[in-house]
Amino acid sequence: MSKKILEVKNLETSFYTHLGEVQAVRNISFDLHQGEILGIVGESGSGKSVTSLSVMNLIEDPGEIKGGSIRFSPNVDDNFIDITKMTREQISQIRGNDISMIFQDPMTAMNPVFKIQNQMVEVIQRHTDLNKEDAIRRAKDLLGQVGIPDPEGQITDYPFQFSGGMRQRAMIATAISCNPRLLIADEPTTALDVTIQAQILELLKKLQNKIDMSIILITHDLGVIAEAATHVVVMYGGQIMEKGTVRDIFNNPMHPYTRGLHKSIPTATKEKKRLIPIEGSPPDLLDPPTGCPFNPRCPHAMTICTEESPKMYTVSDTQSSKCWLMDEKAPKVKGYKKPKGAK
């Protein structure tokens, strides 16, 4: 197995509003290894974006990382640093250099009154020793790498002169300008049409291979996960419901929420199948339900589900599921086969 570069353990992030504490991320743990593309998937409000902002240490007042650790290894040796304990100056050395981020809507992420060149050169010069001339050369080279047809001529365009897909490519070029070890892509294809979406995902995979970086891909779309991710974390109500390889999550989903997500997305087969939505709404994180957060919407909910939170059960070497149905004492449920050896 490749080297671990990120270890998130018992992370808890909350926001304090006049109505009370919003428990956006509740005690989650996951690892990321070099070269992996980890897809974090879930509905709006599941805590996936807050998780990525926590990893960047971008949670600001009235929010806070309440507990847990985020250990990151910025270099090739095995030294880990806890991002939650870093000062503002220390974290600014890591951000943009070792960890970079691209956002959902590149039009709002880029400054509309500055040319692409100015914005890229500013980032490159902030994180390297390159002089302006060399930084411009580097920016043009990066635009070429991400598929901008005429980097020489188009680098002096303003963002509004670029299409949505080209703006996202320019954002990706800026994000990879310092060869980060970890790239966080928060819904990078949501604002784009499906053809451009496929091109951007293909580009991310190509760059991941070339730079040997790892990627955390935040999305609400299982199709994006299937296309790009190697590993998957399924989030709901601020918690991780299931995690595994992309094969585990698509061929053998064990959690009722993951199964519900599968049933609610269209497939490309000719077979006509009714889509079955997950009834109900995501939980109110000001006052989340006791026990399993999915219990008000779960077709298999039992009494214990409303009383006690299940542990994360090991399904296999690569897969685990946070559901009481995995327990050895759980009753048999129609259409649900508990894997042998789950513990």
**Interface contacts to ligand SF4, rule CB under 6 A:** 256, 292, 294-295, 298, 300-302, 305, 310, 323-325
CB 3 within 8 A of CB 73: yes
Q: Which of 161, 162, 116 is nearest to 139 (CA)?
A: 116
To ligand SF4, the closest distance from the beta carbon of 216 in angstroms equals 25
CB-nearer residue toward ligand SF4: 103 or 257: 257
CB-nearer residue toward ligand SF4: 157 or 327: 327
- SS3 of the chain: helix, strand, coil, percent, to 5: 35, 25, 45
Q: Strand 231-236 relative to strand 37-41: parallel, antiparallel, unpaired?
A: parallel
Establish how many alpha carbons lie within 13 A of residue 21's alpha carbon, considering only the half-sphere containing its beta carbon. 11
Strand arrangement of the beta sheet that strand 320-321 belongs to: 99-102, 182-186, 214-219, 37-41, 231-236, 239-245, 320-321, 313-314
To ligand SF4, the closest distance from the beta carbon of 322 in angstroms equals 7
Distance CA 212, CA 35 (A): 6
CB-nearer residue toward ligand SF4: 126 or 263: 263
To ligand SF4, the closest distance from the beta carbon of 331 in angstroms equals 10
CB-nearer residue toward ligand SF4: 177 or 295: 295
To ligand SF4, the closest distance from the beta carbon of 256 in angstroms equals 4
Q: Can you name the residues that pair with 39 across neighbouring β-strands? A: 217, 232
To ligand SF4, the closest distance from the beta carbon of 291 in angstroms equals 7
CB-nearer residue toward ligand SF4: 71 or 322: 322
